[in-house]
Amino acid sequence: MTLDEISIILVYSAMAVYAIAFIAYAIDLARRSAAATKAADDAKSAVGASAPATEAGAATGTAGAVGSAAASGGGAGTLVAAPPARGASVAWGRSPALRVAVAMTVVAWLLHLAADVTRGLAAGRVPWANMYEFALTGTLVITTVYLLVLVVAKHDLRFLGTFVTGLVLVLLGIATVNFYVSVVPLPPALQSAWLVIHVFVATSAVGFLALGFALSVVQLMQARRESFAASAKAVKQNFLATLPDSATLENLAYRVIIIGFILWTFTLMAGAIWAEAAWGRYWGWDTKEVWTFIIWVVYAGYIHARATRGWRGSRSAWLAIIGFSTVLFNFTVVNLFFKGLHAYSGL
Amino acid sequence: MSPRSDPDALSRPDDHIDAPQRDAPSSDEASVSQPKLGFVGWLRFAWRQLTSMRTALLLLLLLAIAAVPGSLVPQRSSDPNGVTQYFADNPGLAPVLDRFQMFDVYTSAWFSAVYLLLFVSLIGCVIPRTKHHFDALRARPPRTPVRLSRLAGFTERPLPTGETPDAAIDRAAAELKRAGYRVERYDLRGEASVSAERGYLRETGNLVFHTALLGVLVAVGIGGGFGFSGQRVVVEGQSFVNTLAAYDSFNPGRFFDDGTLDPYKLSLEELDAVYETRNQEAIGQPIDFTAHVSVQAKGGESTPGVVKVNQPLRVHGTDVYLLGNGYAPTITVRDPEGEVVFTDAVPFLPQDANLTSIGVVKVPDGLEEQLGMVGFFYPTQETLDSGAFTSNYPDLVYPVLTLNVYQGDLGIDGGEPTSVYTLDPSSMEQLTGGATGVESIELMPGETVELPNGLGSVTFENVDPDAAEGDYSHSVSRFASFDIHDDPSQGWVLVFAVLIIAGLLVSLFVPRRRMWVKAVRRRDGAVVLEYAGLARGEDPGLEEAVASFATAHAGASTDAAAAAPASETAPPGESADDRANPST
Ligand code: HEM
């Protein structure tokens, strides 16, 4: 068996374990919804008729506090101080499903890492020189960033696992089925130290931006729920009740996205330096360059939106979502269907 | 002092989230309400709108959208052949798109308008902020707020035993200073306190970042005008002198002066091409191209050099890139008497990965009529089932040259420039191949055949005649196609790019914060130390920083402080003592 064949077996194994993790995360989310509903029912029967009034009052207070709490960077404080009636604060401790899910994610990550390393050994170079390899390494980075953030962040962000494992699974599936190419030598244009740096930094940026995307999506869902609560409409209790409030989610999203943005800025510049050496000009509006630029500008817009009155909150979250859509578009459609100098998909 | 209406708030656009709220309740309303203004007033109003955060944001988004069409439609700058093809494929649509400059998106009026507006807005934003920041750098940290308890991370610690309030505050000031804060002692109503601020670098970074963006634009725009780029094909054993006339094509910048070209001589000694031979999945895939050259300054020594893909040669103020290569079969044409009327290595343009190549030979003089030949070259020839030839490997294993001969007027006598790679057969008669019924000429290196109608003969020279029988590996010369550039602003662009990254890192990760420590005498006479902070912009670690500073300064938190307000035995006059203790 060749190293590359071993690598493929490892990829499939990792996918199987990711699938288990995904299911476990999904079960956990379902249980959260149930728990949230139950907590709401308990609260209702305990407080009786006065409950809706309290809830509405507290929620209005929160909505007003979103801006200032976020501005003072007090995300953590906001969460702790949140009154239970506000909705975003059904305590969610250790769910067995969640623990299984995280453990399985770690196992899948180890298999994935092994698959990536063996692919690199089989090729005798870094494993990110064609689309199959970009996908293999890129998804590895996404999981790595997720696990890192779990360790570092003060909040419990394990709920993002459903999204992360889901995305990684889909991308790995597409990559192995549609993008797979056997190991071939590097064309001269790719024989450069910049392949190692530029592409790796780009992939890392995607890892952070993916997480920022997930957080922004949840932020929007949470904001919607909060505005329902504020208008005293009936709030359907679901897993969102166990998650941080939208202001906290926004702060978290912002923090991972600015890391992604800096990495992307570096990607763009490293790409320009490489292009100068390989093609004789540092910027030529090649399709891939155009899209790298578009992504950069959209995220610059996101950062500005966060600092603009009237744009912080849901509008900036939409920009983060559009930003990640352009990232995915750049990776898939632009790589596969657009003509340009960056014809390195290997397909 | 409320954190929102900080009088010395950063001078940022009105609708910046940290800017003080103006009288208008919301920024949207501010822009809608139409103030009664004179001309100057209107100008100021318009300027404020242009330099607002919202405008910057919308222009950024507009810029992103405006960049999209350039990736959907081929661009003249990067893909001129694609544009020609597009016109051929979409004869109805293309002219309309062209009217909207869709084939020159990045130099179009509308794209330029968006980014120029954005940069005007940027200048309008950066200048006042820079001025304000210089002032802030020289200002003292602001007075300690009266009540710290409303601020971020507020915490209390008992005064360490045996230390006077004054000494404790002095020590706090020293420790804050050591931690990089700028500190100022304030004693308000007898309460000793220190006000500290750090992170001016954050705003510096932000300003450096935005200014460097401008720097890139200016460097690209102006500096690029002084450079040039030119292309030249050089066959092995031949050379080229860096003068305007020697280039196959030349694109000068707007301000370029061709007197600045340094006439050095670049000779291509050898072009090494290495192709994959072992990996079954990748047979024939290029592994390496190396152009071995020598460079000779005018009247100077010749020095050897190497140009590779990804490894340009930087000589005499120009950068030489290897952008392509191919074969240049050496072809000799003789007249019926055997006199040589043409001999040259003719570059053939590669058509596919296995270097099936097309070239044209023009023999204007020496024969009864002008002669043209269109040739196909196959480095490793193979016959398809259809009988057509193809190449199945890019290196020279079984090289074959086929030629179709034309006789008549080459169309070059009128002085109009014509491409050396195409033949216009409109006023010529085809003698071989195609519909003529005469077989195309087919040659291997070293072979000669007679031209039809007794016109003479044509030879495909073997440039390595001493090689062993059947070894064609060096039988045909190769050519390199070099791009030669000079971009005097490139270095500046790099400098600004580095500043962009540095400014970005600093402005996004250096926290700008204030911290205060105040010794407060409770009504029971006990003195407690109060600590609090204020974030200026994004600062997730603020509360932790206040807590850890308090702990480092006065020990871990106890609940003694929390219990203190219960007792109310402090004599009201006590604090007067502190007032008599002015600090530095
Ligand atoms: C050329 C277009 C621009 C780009 C690419 C751009 C990009 C950025 C980026 C990446 C940041 C975050 C990094 C930092 O804080 O330094 C930022 C922040 C900022 N930009 Fe811009 N910018 C542009 C134009 C402008 C303009 C025209 C204005 C003024 C209206 C402006 C005002 C600001 C302000 C006030 C911040 C600080 C935001 C905060 O407090 O977090 N920018 N910009």
Q: Would you say how long chain A is, in residues?
A: 347
Supply the CATH number for residue B193's domain: 3.30.310
| A200 DSSP assignment | H
Q: Are strands B302-308 and B318-328 parallel, antiparallel or unpaired?
A: unpaired
B468-508: per-residue pLDDT in tens? 888 898 999 999 999 999 888 888 999 999 999 999 999 98
Per-residue pLDDT of chain A (347 residues; tens, 9 = 90+): 788 899 999 999 999 999 999 999 999 888 887 777 777 677 666 654 444 444 433 433 333 333 333 333 333 333 333 333 344 456 666 678 888 999 999 999 999 999 999 999 998 889 998 889 989 999 999 999 999 999 988 888 888 999 999 999 999 999 898 888 888 888 888 888 888 899 999 999 999 999 999 999 999 998 888 887 777 666 666 778 778 888 889 999 999 999 999 999 999 999 999 999 888 888 888 888 999 999 999 999 999 999 888 888 889 999 999 999 999 998 887 777 776 666 655 55
Rounded to an integer, what distance in angstroms lies between the CA atom of residue B364 and that of residue A229? 88
pLDDT value of position B196: 92
| Banded pLDDT at B285 (limits 50, 70, 90) | confident
Distance of CA A216 from the midpoint of ligand 1 (Å): 21
Q: Which amino acid is at A296?
A: W
In a domain, B213, yes or no: no
Examine the domain organization and report whether B323 and B338 are in the same domain: no
Determine whether the shortest distance from the Cβ of B51 to ligand 1 is under 6 A.
yes
In a domain, B394, yes or no: yes
Q: Which residue in the set A187, A290, A307 is minimally distant from B67, CB to CB?
A: A290
Domain boundary pick from B83, B102, B134: B134
In a domain, B234, yes or no: yes
The residue behind tokens 């200002």 is B139
Distance of CA B400 from the midpoint of ligand 1 (Å): 62
Q: What is the DSSP string of B105-128?
A: GGGSHHHHHHHHHHHHHHHHHHHH
The helix/strand count (H/E) of chain A reads as 12, 0
Q: Is pLDDT larger for residue B576 or for residue B516?
A: B516
Mean pLDDT calculated for residue range B208-219: 94
pLDDT value of position B580: 34
**CA dihedral angle for residue B550, residue B554, residue B555, residue B559, rounded to 10 degrees:** -80
Examine the domain organization and report whether B374 and B300 are in the same domain: no
Tokens of B116: 């120029």
Stretch 191-230 of chain A: residues touching chain B, C-beta under 8 Å: 191-192
Domain boundary pick from B134, B161, B188: B134
- Closest alpha carbon to B123 in B213, B246, B2: B213
| Banded pLDDT at B286 (limits 50, 70, 90) | confident
Rounded to an integer, what distance in angstroms lies between the CA atom of residue B455 and that of residue B407? 10
Q: Please report the sign of the dihedral spanned by the C-alpha atoms of residue B164, residue B166, residue B167, residue B168.
A: positive
Q: Which residues contact A333 (CB under 8 A, 6 or more apart)?
A: none
In a domain, B495, yes or no: no
Backbone dihedral angles phi then psi of residue B292, each to the nearest 5 degrees = -90, 120
Q: What is the DSSP string of A207-262?
A: HHHHHHHHHHHHHHHHHHHHHHHHTTPPPPP-GGGGSPPHHHHHHHHHHHHHHHHH
Environment class of residue B190 by beta-carbon count within 10 Å: exposed (0-12), middle (13-18) or buried (19+)? Answer: middle
Rounded to an integer, what distance in angstroms lies between the CA atom of residue B465 and that of residue B444? 12
In a domain, B498, yes or no: no
Q: Please report the sign of the dihedral spanned by the C-alpha atoms of residue A40, residue A44, residue A47, residue A51.
A: positive
Rounded to an integer, what distance in angstroms lies between the CA atom of residue A197 and that of residue A189? 15
Chain A: residue whose CA lies nearest to B538: A73
Domain boundary pick from B486, B503, B525: B486
Asked whether A297 and A268 are in contact (CB, 8 A), the reply is: no
- Closest alpha carbon to B115 in B65, B73, B160, B154: B65
Determine whether the shortest distance from the Cβ of B125 to ligand 1 is under 6 A.
yes
Mean pLDDT calculated for residue range B69-98: 89
Tokens of A18: 């990711």
Q: How far is CA B484 from CA A271, B316, B349, in A?
A: 20, 11, 19
Asked whether A203 and A137 are in contact (CB, 8 A), the reply is: yes
Environment class of residue B97 by beta-carbon count within 10 Å: exposed (0-12), middle (13-18) or buried (19+)? Answer: middle
- Taking CA atoms only, the protein residue closest to ligand 1 atom 8 is A300
- Closest alpha carbon to B47 in B128, B121, B119, B114: B121
Chain A: residue whose CA lies nearest to B58: A301
Examine the domain organization and report whether B287 and B370 are in the same domain: no
How many distinct structural domains can be found in chain B? Answer: 4
Q: Minimal Cα–Cα distance from A84 to chain B, Å?
A: 22
Task: Tell whether the model's pLDDT for residue B23 goes beyond 60.
Answer: no
Rounded to an integer, what distance in angstroms lies between the CA atom of residue B49 and that of residue B57? 12
Check CB contact under 8 Å for B27 and A294.
Answer: no
Q: What is the DSSP string of A96-116?
A: HHHHHHHHHHHHHHHHHHHHH
Check CB contact under 8 Å for B16 and A307.
Answer: yes
Q: Minimal Cα–Cα distance from B397 to chain A, Å?
A: 21
Examine the domain organization and report whether B246 and B360 are in the same domain: no
Q: Which helix (H) or strand (E) holds A334?
A: none
Q: Is pLDDT larger for residue B505 or for residue B30?
A: B505
Rounded to an integer, what distance in angstroms lies between the CA atom of residue B312 and that of residue B484? 9
Tokens of B201: 């670098």
Rounded to an integer, what distance in angstroms lies between the CA atom of residue B208 and that of residue B506? 10
B34-56: per-residue pLDDT in tens? 556 688 888 888 888 888 889 99
Q: To 10 degrees, what angle do helices A51-71 and A200-230 make?
A: 140
Task: Tell whether the model's pLDDT for residue B103 goes beyond 50.
Answer: yes
| Banded pLDDT at B558 (limits 50, 70, 90) | low
Distance of CA A304 from the midpoint of ligand 1 (Å): 6
pLDDT value of position A59: 38
| Banded pLDDT at B18 (limits 50, 70, 90) | confident
pLDDT value of position A310: 83
Three-state SS sequence of B183-204:
EEEEEECCEEEEEEEECHHHHH
Provide the terminal-to-terminal Cα distance of chain A, rounded to the nearest Å: 24
Mean pLDDT calculated for residue range B379-396: 90
The boundaries of the domain holding residue B403 are 330-460
Using the Cβ of A333 and the Cβ atoms of chain B, whether some distance falls under 8 Å is answered with no
Rounded to an integer, what distance in angstroms lies between the CA atom of residue A195 and that of residue A188? 11
Examine the domain organization and report whether B260 and B190 are in the same domain: no
Tokens of B362: 């023009």
Task: Tell whether the model's pLDDT for residue B266 goes beyond 70.
Answer: yes
Examine the domain organization and report whether B335 and B439 are in the same domain: yes
pLDDT value of position B10: 55
pLDDT value of position B576: 35
Examine the domain organization and report whether B311 and B404 are in the same domain: no
Rounded to an integer, what distance in angstroms lies between the CA atom of residue B313 and that of residue B322? 9
In a domain, B432, yes or no: yes
B300-343: per-residue pLDDT in tens? 888 999 999 889 999 888 999 998 899 999 999 999 998 999 99
Residues of B in contact with A307 (CB under 8 A): 16-18, 53
Mean pLDDT calculated for residue range B173-201: 89
Asked whether A263 and A205 are in contact (CB, 8 A), the reply is: yes
Mean pLDDT calculated for residue range B371-389: 91
Examine the domain organization and report whether B250 and B322 are in the same domain: yes
Task: Tell whether the model's pLDDT for residue B116 goes beyond 70.
Answer: yes
Asked whether B198 and B549 are in contact (CB, 8 A), the reply is: no
Residues of A in contact with B71 (CB under 8 A): 287, 290-291, 334, 338
Atom of ligand 1 nearest to the CA of B122: 27
- Calculate the average pLDDT of chain B: 85
- Taking CA atoms only, the protein residue closest to ligand 1 atom 19 is A304
Tokens of A261: 């943005």
| B311 DSSP assignment | B
Backbone dihedral angles phi then psi of residue A304, each to the nearest 5 degrees = -65, -40
In a domain, B7, yes or no: no
In a domain, B493, yes or no: no
Q: Hey, is A315 helix, strand or coil?
A: helix
Examine the domain organization and report whether B369 and B309 are in the same domain: no
pLDDT value of position B341: 93
| B398 DSSP assignment | B
Q: Is pLDDT larger for residue B555 or for residue B214?
A: B214
Q: Are strands B513-521 and B249-252 parallel, antiparallel or unpaired?
A: unpaired
Rounded to an integer, what distance in angstroms lies between the CA atom of residue A252 and that of residue A267? 23
Determine whether the shortest distance from the Cβ of A307 to ligand 1 is under 6 A.
yes
pLDDT value of position B147: 86
Rounded to an integer, what distance in angstroms lies between the CA atom of residue B363 and that of residue B343? 9
Stretch 253-312 of chain A: residues touching chain B, C-beta under 8 Å: 254-255, 258, 261-262, 265-266, 269, 272-274, 276-287, 290-291, 293-294, 297-298, 300-301, 304-312
Environment class of residue A334 by beta-carbon count within 10 Å: exposed (0-12), middle (13-18) or buried (19+)? Answer: buried
Asked whether B532 and B149 are in contact (CB, 8 A), the reply is: yes
- Closest alpha carbon to B191 in B142, B141, B148: B148
Q: What is the DSSP string of B222-274?
A: IIGGG-EEEEEEEETT-EEESSGGG-SEEEE-TT--GGG----EEEEEEEEEE
pLDDT value of position A62: 37
Task: Tell whether the model's pLDDT for residue B27 goes beyond 80.
Answer: no
Examine the domain organization and report whether B180 and B250 are in the same domain: no
Rounded to an integer, what distance in angstroms lies between the CA atom of residue B303 and that of residue B410? 41
Examine the domain organization and report whether B396 and B291 are in the same domain: no
Examine the domain organization and report whether B341 and B454 are in the same domain: yes
Using the Cβ of A132 and the Cβ atoms of chain B, whether some distance falls under 8 Å is answered with no
Residues of B in contact with A312 (CB under 8 A): 17
